[in-house]
Amino acid sequence: MSAVSVEEYSIFMAQELARVMPLYRLSATQRDVWDTLLGHMQHGGQVPLTREQIAHRLDIHLNSVSRAMGRLRELGLIWRINLGLWQINPVIAFKGSDEEWAEAINSMPADVPEVPFPAYHVRPPRRAKRPHLRSVPTGCPAR
């Protein structure tokens, strides 16, 4: 068995993002797609998966993957390098050496939005509260 350096497996996710991720109110599908991308991240923070491969792995429709990835792009978490190759924002998560990380930061496209960190500290409710229905007493005379 050959020795493997720690550097080959070094991966990080910004602690700030881990704290605020629930505040983004990602849907379950969006979170599944994000986790799939992180799980398949290669050296340099790149993910060589097509939308079809992600849909197959998660057993969901391609349109669902497209919408989820659109949201992740909107948040600045990912961007597409080319067909079937995605880049995870190196400010957020990265796999590789310090030098590779610095290079990835310096080569970020100008149109990638800055990752927004929500201003609130408590996640809003997942669902709007529904008004309670009032029961109608039985035996009311018919009108």
Q: What is the pTM of this model?
A: 0.74
Q: Give the pLDDT confidence score for residue 143 in this predicted structure.
A: 55
Determine contact, residues 100/44, Cβ cutoff 8 Å: yes
Q: Give the pLDDT confidence score for residue 89 in this predicted structure.
A: 92
DSSP E strands: which ranges in the chain? Answer: 11-13, 46-47, 78-82, 85-88, 93-95
Low-confidence ranges of the chain (pLDDT < 70): 1-14, 117-143
Task: Please give the C-alpha separations between residue 139 and each of 19, 132, 142, 143, in angstroms, as whole numbers.
Answer: 54, 22, 9, 12
pLDDT in tens, 83-93: 999 999 998 88
Between CA 63 and CA 12 the distance in angstroms is: 29
